[in-house]
Amino acid sequence: MSDTQTLAEKVCSELATAIVRGEIRPGERLSEKALVDRYGGSRAPMREAIQKLEARNLVVRIPHAGARVVSLSLEELRDIYEVRLELESMACRLAATRMSDDEIKDLEGLLEEHARSIEADQGLSYYQKSGNLDFHYRIIEGSKNNRLKQMLCGDLYHIIRMYRYQTSTNKQRPRQALKEHQRIVEAIAARDAELAELLMRRHIQVSLTNLESLLAQQEYLS
């Protein structure tokens, strides 16, 4: 069971990271021939890779006209954030009743690690990069709802990460974010689902609010 991975899957995941990293820009075209030239193989696997990306909402395909990297308007981005806000709050509520004591212990340990990393003031970027995601990911895991997990991690997060430069709020408030994380975990440990949901909602709300103010500015211009 070494490399049973299909070529289409490999190309798909490579393209996905390239898109998320911005190496391929929104609106840019993905021609099948160009992918053949770049990754080798034939058109069939490339086509399949593109379709997989379409399923992840990373590209838009128009019959006979080709595929383009998705290019979201601010309004579409607001829609996504709105849904994410709701689903992740829900996940937090469920996690408060469904996480095992051990999982909660682990989560507390993770936060302590983050705290140390911040105090050392050198893992700041670490905290930003994977730490924040890690925390949210564990909450989602804790919801014990696989469909929810699939929707949040599979569909929404790819796009959110792609446009993460919008979430400039989080950049210089790691301590504040950590505090909020801690209070969320406290609520979960207390099995207080309502409070946990509320705190998570507030925690994510800042990004959404920012986005909405951007939207408002944009409307002034038109």
Contact residues: DNA, CB under 7 A: 4, 6-8, 29-33, 40-45, 47-48, 61-67
DSSP letter string, 35-95: HHHHH-S-HHHHHHHHHHHHHTTSEEEETTTEEEE----HHHHHHHHHHHHHHHHHHHHHH
139-152 burial, b at 16+ Cβ within 10 Å, e below that, comes to bbbbbbbeebbebb
Q: Is 9 in the site for its own copies (CB under 8 A)?
A: yes
119 Cβ contact partners less than 8 Å away, ≥ 6 residues apart: none
Q: Which is nearer to its own copies, 149 or 179 (CB)?
A: 149
Residue 215 structure tokens:
């939207």
Nearest distance in Å: CB 84, DNA = 30
Q: Which is nearer to its own copies, 61 or 183 (CB)?
A: 61
Nearest distance in Å: CB 39, DNA = 9
Question: Contact letters (x/-) for its own copies, 46-85, by CB under 8 A?
Answer: -xx--xx-xx-------xx-----------x--xx-xx--
Residue with the two structure tokens 């689903």: 87
Q: Is 6 in the site for its own copies (CB under 8 A)?
A: yes
Nearest distance in Å: CB 29, DNA = 7
Residue 117 structure tokens:
């990393």
List the interface residues with its own copies, window 148-167 (CB under 8 A): 148, 151, 155
Say which amino acid occupies 144: K
Question: Contact letters (x/-) for its own copies, 162-201, by CB under 8 A?
Answer: ----------------------------------------
Q: Report helix angle 174-189 to 132-142, nearest 10.
A: 20
Nearest distance in Å: CB 115, its own copies = 32
165 to 7, 21, 147, 159: CA distances (angstroms): 31, 11, 27, 12
Given a contact cutoff of 8 angstroms between Cβ atoms, the answer to whether 163 and 84 are in contact is no
| Contacting positions for its own copies (CB under 8 A) | 4-6, 9, 44, 47-48, 51-52, 54-55, 63-64, 76, 79-80, 82-83, 86-87, 90, 94, 145-148, 151, 155
